């Protein structure tokens, strides 16, 4: 069985027939060719597949495509190229191997959209569903504070 779904990804319309329980993660990567979104755990624990669904942070490995009908998806590729998070992550050691980075940046963007000047505890809470095995997180927090215009510390 397939269901027809119409939605937008980064502003571009997508229409197709999909197996209803196919993960948004797979559709974004395989059908839309947008591969910034990564699969880490496939079970909601790591946040590397995070995207925005109607502006809210979700793990795309937990969203079946049938539930995306009529909605707006934003992946890392859909952020503005001059989003200050990109330069800040590079400058502050917020990224090493890079696997977690797209999810970290999406979680950070979701935070800054709601709360432009978060304190450290707000940043930690916003990123608590995103795991990183390389950076030790300090560089990531510093990057987000820098992007929010609060300096690196």
Ligand X SMILES: Cc1cc2nc3c(=O)[nH]c(=O)nc-3n(C[C@H](O)[C@H](O)[C@H](O)COP(=O)(O)OP(=O)(O)OC[C@H]3O[C@@H](n4cnc5c(N)ncnc54)[C@H](O)[C@@H]3O)c2cc1C
Within 85-104, the residues that bind another protein by CB under 8 A are none
Residue nearest to ligand X (CB): 44
Distance CA 27, CA 25 (A): 6
Q: Which of 5, 49, 52, 110 binds ligand FES (CB under 6 A)?
A: 49
Contact between 40 and ligand FES by CB under 6 A: the answer reads yes
Within 123-152, the residues that bind another protein by CB under 8 A are 125-126, 128-130
Q: Which of 135, 141, 147, 148 binds ligand FES (CB under 6 A)?
A: 135
User: Residue 20 in 3-state DSSP?
Assistant: coil
**Strand order in 50-53's β-sheet?**
12-18, 3-9, 72-74, 50-53, 56-59
Give how far Cα 109 sits from Cα of 85, 123, 137, Å: 8, 11, 16
Q: Which residues bind ligand FES (CB under 6 A)?
A: 39-42, 44-49, 59, 61, 95-101, 132-135
């Amino acid at each position: 069985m397939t269901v027809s779904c119409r939605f937008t990804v980064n502003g571009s319309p997508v229409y197709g027939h999909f197996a209803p329980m196919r993960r948004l993660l797979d559709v974004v990567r395989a059908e839309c060719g947008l591969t910034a979104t990564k699969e880490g755990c496939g079970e909601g624990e790591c946040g590397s597949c995070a995207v925005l669904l109607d502006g809210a942070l979700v793990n795309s490995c937990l969203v079946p495509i049938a539930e995306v009908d009529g909605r707006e998806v934003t992946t890392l590729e859909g952020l503005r190229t001059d989003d200050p998070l990109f330069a800040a992550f590079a400058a502050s050691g917020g990224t090493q191997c890079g696997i977690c980075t797209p999810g970290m940046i999406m979680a950070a963007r979701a935070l800054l959209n709601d709360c432009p000047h978060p304190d450290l505890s707000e940043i930690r809470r916003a990123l608590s569903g995103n795991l990183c095995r390389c950076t030790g997180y300090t560089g990531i927090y510093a990057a987000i504070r820098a992007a929010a215009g609060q300096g690196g510390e």
